[in-house]
Structure 1
Amino acid sequence: MALKRVVVTGIGTLTPIGNNLDDYWRNLVNGVSGADKITLFDAAKFKTQFACEVKGFDPVNHMDRKEAKRMDRFAQLSIAASDMAVSDSGISKENVDVDRVGVIFASGIGGINTFQEEVMNFAKGDGTPRFNPFFIPKMILDIAAGQISMRHGFRGPNYAVVSACASSTNAMVSALDTIRLGRADVILCGGAEAVICEAGVGGFNAMKAMSERNDDPTTASRPYDKDRDGFVMGEAAGVLVFEEYEHAIKRGAKIYCEVAGGGATADAHHLTAPHPEGLGAKNVMLAALKDAGMQPEEIDYINTHGTSTPLGDVAEVKAITDVFGTHAYQLNISSTKSMTGHTLGAAGVIEAIACIQSVVHDIVPPTINHFTDDPDLDNQLNFTFNTAQKRIVNAALSNTFGFGGHNACVIVKKYVA
């Protein structure tokens, strides 16, 4: 059976550097950092006091106040991004079969703000269990997929994906396969994360995973820099409309790009550290290339996982040189986490959006905040340091890796009728 082609026909996103696609892309290309002092809670006593927050977001601009109160922040961001994507794609109950439109959505952690609030309120009381009746529906991470489907009336496949920081890439791979196999015509896929709260920041601080560069937040996310000291927490939401090619053509849809392939592997190595030789990362890129029916030489740009952690950056670069060989030196490589921070379960989708825009506009966004070469890295590679570069981008690959050894990868390429 020949697999169906899948294209992207709609994009919606809210990020620390832009609350819509145009602003996000412009700030990526211009190398704008989204890091600043935390405003969502008082972080004065925390080791890390800054993050990449979504700025100026008011849920009542996207839904009524009653609805907003029944959603955790991660779900509010999800709804806003889905509205943008649906509007951008032009799909409606009049031009699609809603029974064949699904939602496959991700989050690494889900409603941690709600969980923290409810448990802290209980702890402050006299032991009498007084919990909000919406506690569980607000907290569970599948609720964003459910809320999106109910809002738009989509009755196709609907579920959540969780694989830590690889979550939204895994959601995209699942969406790709679902359409390829003829089980849906359209899938809204992506992910959201909103963990900038006491529990989120405190938990990652305890793991010594985050930068503590409180005196200079905007340069704290430093992928591939010798003096990197951990990732910068971010929050975001992104939604892509994946659509079967013939279905998109029939309704006259705008097409951004084709989704060429994807892959998923495991390190089977350590709870939080990557395989030191980048074995899982190597295997997932090879799997994605095989799935796409492409050779390594056909990739022009890699948006790396590149979190700004000492171990992770080295392992991924090792994997890239193993997979791409001499072609690795013809690639552009960049980590847009240098600008957005690490948005955990939303990272894959917002970085896939960066890849899509690179394919559309033939521009590679930079890795900002590079000051000193790391002798443990191959510095002959083009990390696109500090300034965006114009080049033909026929195909781009996006990597995401998560705690637990999860690896996921997706490849997008220029649309050819």
Structure 2
Amino acid sequence: MAGIVLSGSCSSRLLLLRDREAGSNGASLAQYNGLKAVDTMHLPSSRTPKLSCSGSKCRTIRAMASPTVSAPKRETDPKKRIVITGMGLVSVFGSDIDNFYNKLLEGESGITQIDKFDATNYSVRFAGQIRDFSSKGYIDGKNDRRLDDCWRYCLVAGRRALDEANLGSEALEKLDKTRIGVLVGTGMGGLTAFSNGVEALIQKGYKKITPFFIPYSITNMGSALLAIDTGLMGPNYSISTACATANYCFYAAANHIRRGEADIMVAGGTEAAVMPTGIGGFIACRALSQRNDEPKRASRPWDKDRDGFVMGEGCGVLVMESLDHAMQRGANIIAEYLGGAVTCDAHHMTDPRSDGLGVSSCISKSLEDAGVNYVNAHATSTLAGDLAEVFKNTSEIKMNGTKSMIGHGLGAAGGLEAIATVKAITTGWLHPTINQDNLEPEVTIDTVPNVKKQHEVNVGTYSYSPTKTISNSFGFGGHNSVVVFAPFKP
């Protein structure tokens, strides 16, 4: 992608800080090294920028341009080429993928008032809350009552992805299960189970803590439960890198296949943080939009009037498989995973580098062979964060924000958005970014405002130069991740 320059100087994990009163404790993250929007910068490689600082602490970081890299030799070994053979999700629009994408194409908002708990006294009372969720046919009644929603979403999305890949229980019995792994991560884990356990401890004492408190709270349990449910014995663990989680899982899963450690990996992200601690915690961070009077218009990426992100939840899972294995079993191939990149800002817990190097290097590492014409952006609707992903000189590229309709699914965001990206490839239609009434002047790329657009995502021939699409995720802790998908051509 020669000539692309990133505009903006901070990643989408940046919290919006408004000029309003701090919480009841009189403190906010703004007091700890100044989380603030910084001006757009275009830095030559020799420039040493001064970071915004507060108090007596300030440090300098030298901005280093990524070296020019020639186009890498693409994988031709069918054992190392990674294809997508199944997808599954749980979303604010239900668990059917076609319905999910049709709702996105229609520009329908899934943001509503919270009714999972009494949010009357909360300063934010809306979210991308999942309603009418059913695990029938996937989880037995006893476990369904015990499990945190985070794991319920994971089990249903994972099983649906396997079903779409024609890897139901009978098919799995014919395969070597030691070569099929699970890697479904989460940013926050079983937050309801954890909160309930702490509440029991405080109110009734440790003897009243359920024995499921620890198992259903820890972040590895999504992968573990899905493997136990299906008998998959390959690589199994979880990754927790905040909002970048699902993309990290895709990246790691693909590497297991390319190293010959697995034939199939079930990978993605899950989250269920629309509950008192989750909402309250992000309110305390001053991260959320407060448009309680118009929740459907609250998530507005790249719009001048954005005032924070909207909490979402759900799960998105892909079945990733070596081309060789997929062809041997006659699998239906949906798309191809070309690669990705992961980097770290190595700078601050939540405040991104002012030179944007962590984000830009992650994107450039994943795109160094060019050909991209569609970006599903992380775009959370935070004041400065949205500008981190804005490209310049990109007349052929379109970029949209799925979060404008479903909210920010945290650890699940990359999984849900990867599915939207693959659907864009297979349908030739890009969903709109809604609530774009007053676009930031720095945004010159086509963000598909308010109305869906046809976009030929499968142009080019398969000389490893087909048009590619990327899905970005950036998370608290400085974690940056980008994955690249393309149409599959034999």
Q: Give the secondary structure class of the aligned counterpart of 1:129.
A: helix
| Root mean square deviation, CA, Å | 1.4
- In the TM superposition, 1:318-357 aligns within 5 A as 320-321=391-392, 326=393, 328-357=394-423
> Which residue, out of 252, 258, 280, partners 1:202?
280
Q: Would you tell me which structure has more helix in proportion to its own residues?
A: 1
- 2:116 is aligned to 40
Q: Does 1:311 align with 2:375?
A: no
1:380-416 CA-partner distances (Å, limit 9, x unpaired) = 2101110111011132100000001100010000100
Q: Is the 8 A contact 2:94 2:133 kept in 1?
A: no
Q: Rg bigger for which structure? A: 2
Q: Is the 8 A contact 2:89 2:316 kept in 1?
A: yes
- In the TM superposition, 1:372-411 aligns within 5 A as 372-375=438-441, 377-378=442-443, 380-394=444-458, 395-411=468-484
- In the TM superposition, 1:238-317 aligns within 5 A as 238-290=316-368, 294-295=369-370, 298-317=371-390
Q: Is the 8 A contact 2:200 2:206 kept in 1?
A: no
2 CA distance for matches of 1:121 and 1:97?
A: 43
1:133-165 CA-partner distances (Å, limit 9, x unpaired) = 111111111001000011111000000001000
Q: Which runs of 5+ in 2 are unaligned?
A: 1-74, 459-467
Query: Which residue identity lines up with residue 161 of structure 1 in the other structure?
Result: I
Distance apart, 1:302 and its partner CA = 0.1
TM-score (norm: length of structure 2)? 0.80
Distance apart, 1:128 and its partner CA = 4.9
Q: Percent identity?
A: 39
Distance apart, 1:120 and its partner CA = 1.2
Distance apart, 1:62 and its partner CA = 2.8
- 2:184 is aligned to 105
Query: Which residue identity lines up with residue 199 of structure 2 in the other structure?
Result: M
2 CA distance for matches of 1:8 and 1:414?
A: 10
Q: Does 1:120 align with 2:184?
A: no
- 1:163 is aligned to 241
- 1:16 is aligned to 92
1:202-253 CA-partner distances (Å, limit 9, x unpaired) = 0000010000100000010000000100000000111110000011011110
> Alpha carbons of 1:287 and 1:148: their partners in 2 closer, same or farther (altered >3 Å)?
same
> Alpha carbons of 1:399 and 1:11: their partners in 2 closer, same or farther (altered >3 Å)?
same
- In the TM superposition, 1:76-87 aligns within 5 A as 76-87=152-163
Work out the number of aligned pairs and report it.
402
> Which residue, out of 268, 273, 283, partners 1:190?
268
Q: Which runs of 5+ in 1 are unaligned?
A: none
2 CA distance for matches of 1:391 and 1:70?
A: 45
1 CA distance for matches of 2:278 and 2:285?
A: 11
2 CA distance for matches of 1:276 and 1:304?
A: 20
- 2:305 is aligned to 227
2 CA distance for matches of 1:276 and 1:43?
A: 36
1:49-68 CA-partner distances (Å, limit 9, x unpaired) = 00001221033453111111
TM-score (norm: length of structure 1)? 0.94
Q: Is the 8 A contact 1:204 1:210 kept in 2?
A: yes
